[in-house]
Structures are given as structure tokens and as C-alpha cells.
Structure 1
Amino acid sequence: MAYVAIAALLAAAFLLVRLLLLRRELRRASGQLEAFNLGHTEKKLDLAFYDGRLELLAEHVNRLIDHAKQAHADRRRSENELKRAVANISHDIRTPMTSILGYVQFLESEALAPERRAEYTATVKNGALRLKALLEDFFELSLIESPDYPLQAEPIRMNDLVLEVLAGFYEPFLQRRLEPAIAIAEEDLFVRADPSAVKRVIENLLLNAIKHASGDVSIRLAKTPAAVRLTIENRAERLSEKDIVYLFDRFYTADRTRGGSGTGIGLSIAKSLMAKMNGSLSAELVAGKLVMICEWQPEPPGEQDRHGQAGRGDELQ
């Protein structure tokens, strides 16, 4: 009996010590969480006393800490992006507005010569059109980023669509004295996407290349093992790796001093549309060249054959 009593006392003492250690560890963990919540530290929970259930709890808490840190980083990035957007849109609005107001004052003069009046009127009109384009782009971007923006996915033969869009850019390329090097795969490349959205993406990327290219432009459409890839490449000595990071942000323009008609929204619109179509749009800076890469999931082979046969049947008719 004495041995049983001693064993019971030892067990009770062990449980009491273990309980006290658990309570102390819980107080310690609570203190660490309070320090994290107050912003005094970003350190995760660490345990000095190990218990299976306590370790599992600490693991879950540390996951929440990771999520909270990521959410905080995302919020700071969004705030910085918003500040840049406000600064950029203010610049984009202020520049033509200042010009418009200045020339309106000139137009109010009764002694103004007719040819000068026509010149100033054209300048005011151009400024107003720039403001209109800016507001339309901003409105379109807000629509595209809404969850219920409608897209109608259907099979598209990318070979034809890319060539169709390029044909519409013959004059802009000619005016900039750019001669694009075009390489389109001979095999049929089908994707399932919204044709209007795909056209808009390609148009925005070509417009960006034409506006900012400091050399010839290269356009390639090919199939990779996992995707149908469109690559648009142009010389861009003014760009840096820092610019690539923010290239798809709203209203971001790499060189604010160059002015022009761009609003900095076109690439953001293209990025949003690609995301809506479950595709991807990325940018790289390789040896002084800006490389834009669009990728879509290819249409399954069976579907490609069916659409190809339908197309050949239409041609025979």
C-alpha cells in the first residue's frame, strides 16, 4: 500500500508540475501574441515547453501570423500603388487642363488673328480629347476589374486573330518607321478565350511597343509544352528592372517627362483581361529589350480537330 501511495503522490506531483509548466507556457505565448498585435515584433510563436497539442496550436497560430503579415504587406503595397496612381492621374489631368485653360485665355482675346485662333482651338481640342481618353480608360479598367465583368469564352484560332490585329497596325508601324519581325507558327494554335478581350490585350501591347520602342519590334506566336505563347519584344533602353516591377500598375509610366497620349492604364487593362481569361501576362527586361509574354491554355486536341474540320467544311461550301 505504501508503494501505491508513493506512486500516486509522484504521479500527482508530475501532473502538477506539468500543469504549472503548461500554464507558464500559455502565459508566455500570450505575451508573444500581445507583442505581435501591438506591432512590437513580427516574430512567430516559439515554445520552451513541448507538448503535442500545444505545438499543434502554435503551428496554427503561426500560420495565422503568416497570413496577417502577408495581408499587411499587401495592404501597404496597395496603399503605395494608390498613392502613385493618385499622383500619376493628377499629373495626367493637370497637364492638359493647364494647357486648355491657358489657350482658352488666348482665345478670349478679340485681337487674336484667325490663323492663331484656329491653332489654339485645335490645341484645346487635343487636350480635351486626352482628358476624355484618360477618363474612358479609367472607367474601362474599373469595369474590367469588377467580379461580374462579362466574358464569352469560345475556341479561337490564334494564328488568324494575331494576323488580323497586326494588319490594323500597319500605318502606326509605318509612321514610327518600325519594321516588325513577325513569326507565326504554321500549326493551328487554338485557345478558349473571349475574342474581343484577346484582341484588346494584343492591341494594348502593340500600342505600348509602338509608343516606346527605340528599335524594331519582334512578334512571335508559338506553342510551348504547356501553353500557347505570344511574345512581343522591343528595344527599351530607358527601362530598368525597377520599372518592370511596376509596369502593370495603374497609371504607371516609366518616363513621366516624355508626355504623349498614353495614360499608363493600357498594360493594367491587358493584365486584368488576361487574368479574367485564366491566362498570364508577364514582362522581362533582357539585354535592353522589353519582352512581353502572353500565355493561354491550349484548346484540347479533340476540340482543335473538331474546329479545324468545321472550318474546312465552311471553306468547301
Structure 2
Amino acid sequence: MTDHDLTGSDPIDARLRAAGAAWREQHRQGAVVDVAALPAIAGRGAPAPAGDDVVDIAPVAPGPPRRRGRWIAAVLTAAALVAAVVIGLVLTRSGGGTSRRPAPAGGVVAAGLTGLTWQLVSVRSGGTTTAMAPGPAFLAFDAAGGVKGHDGCNYLFGPVTLHGTQLSFGDIASTAMGCLDPNAARPVIDAVLSGTVEFTVKDAVLTLTKPGVGTLVYTARRTPVPVTDPAVLSGTHWQLDSITTGTGDGAVSSGSSQYATRTLAFDDRGGIVAFDGCNSMSGPAAFGNGTGTIGPLVSTARACPYDPVGQLVGSVLDGSVRWSVSGDRLTISKSGVGSLTYVR
């Protein structure tokens, strides 16, 4: 094999230099170098040297293949795995992607229980029937399979389903208010409104019976739409039915027929007259759409024994209040103090 001076001016040397440059460029770009074709590339079509003029250039292994494609594939695979794990966790926490609330209880609608407020009128237990004075105890069913109500002290709410002549109350939640008036019927109410009970609906009367526990009898009334037009108050007379003291978790509710001696009357000139159980109060009352301002009221000054209900009446009926009329019930509330519910 003939040695060549790669720095000389020999034509073969020129082709070798050009071939070397072409090889370096192809190698830099990652292409596989065809060594046999290098002289032709360098000589732009000139014939390759023959015999002793053939340059012995050892083939060079191509550089490592590009890894960009494999890197992208690895990233996409990892992302898919992470997404699968996240979806699995979401489905696990949500019960396999299904709602925990019961399916819509079409039977409750068909039974004529929805769209009404069921007012508790009597409680039977142990052979004794207790008539319930008009008050806050009620039940209301919705078409989505829910029930809400009141046992005379606390609000109740939860799921309900219908199976033939039975209602099944699910996990019923309750507020935890204290109650000023002890009510022997309340434990019976709470016990019946749990688990499965027999029910009947006839002539707008709903009867719930749990063997060995008791029977609750409710009467139906259409759920009224709250009204906040002050015109509905003019010339009306009301009797106190129930109260709520405090707000939030510290709220305490109670109702009693004894509250009825505490009254409230509106005249047609923007004034009110109230009785708190001991003293009479009168003065201006400017009521707007759901809000109002009462007072200052002038009160008689009779000496009275301590009466927390009377004190609440005086505290609520003073200053800025919120109000609404729902059916035959008027509710007046004062932020941070409590509320008064009157009936006609």
C-alpha cells in the first residue's frame, strides 16, 4: 500500500482530505459512513484510486444512536403509569366511581310523599297517645331520595328508600342543640325515624309504625314559598310558637304551647305592639324585602320574675332583623342573638 502525504497537493491527497471532511461531517450528524463511497464523494464523481492508490481506511463504528425518541417514549410511559395510579385512587375513594347517595326514590314520589310538609300531630307508644301541639316537628321528602325534618328540638336529615309498604331511613344525621323544654315523646320520634318502618298514606295523613317502639302520625300541608313582601304583615296578629337562641353549634331551639301568650301585632301605619309575657312594647317598625328595623320600642315597667323567653323576645325585637312569612308562620331573626317564630 502506498503512503500518501495528506498535506500535499497530489490529487489523491486532495480527495483523501475531502473524504475525511465528508466522513467527519456524516459522523457528527450520526449517519453511518459508507467508507467505500468516500473517494467518490470527495472527488465529486471522480473514479476511486486503484491498486496501490487505494487508501486503507479502517471502517469506524457509528456513534451511539440518538436517544431522544427513547427518552420521549419513557416519559410518556411514566406519565401513563402516574395517570393510572391517580385514577385508581379517585375511583377507590369514590366507591368505584358511583355516588354514595341512593338512587332517586321514584317510589317516594309515587307514594305521594314529596312536595308536602308533614306536620307531626300525635305520638303513640306503650299504649299511650300524646297529642302534639302545633310546633316545629315535621318531615319533608324529596324526589332524589332524601328526607329532612325536625323532632321538636333538633333537625334531622339523611337518605330514605321505599320498598312496598316500608320506608327505610338510612344514616340519619342530626343537629346537637340543647332543648329548653323536656319532651317525653322526643326519644320515641327519634327511634321511629331510624331503620325500617311500616307506613301508610290516607286522606293526607301519614302514619309511621315501628313494632315495639311506637307510631308517629303526621298531617300534610303544601310546602309554602317564603314571602318577604312587607304588605303581608299589615294588620296581622301573631302568637309565639318556637324560639332559637344563639347561632351555629351553640343554637338552642324549643317550642311550647305556653309561648302563645307572647304576641306580636302589626298595624297599617308602620307600627307594632308586642307582649313578652310580662310587659307590653310598642313603637315603629320599618320592614322591607326580607329585612327590617324595629324600634326603639316603649315598654311598660312591670316587675317580672326571670324569664329567658321574654328576654329573648325583647332582644330580637330591637334594631336590625331579618324576617319571612312561610304559610302561617312568621320568623324574625337577629344575627348573633336568635330567632322568634310566630303563628297566626
Q: TM-score of the superposition, structure 1-length normalised?
A: 0.28
Higher CA-based Rg: 2
**Which has the larger strand fraction?**
2
Higher relative contact order (CA 8 A, sep 6+): 1
**Which has the larger helix fraction?**
1
Q: TM-score of the superposition, structure 2-length normalised?
A: 0.26
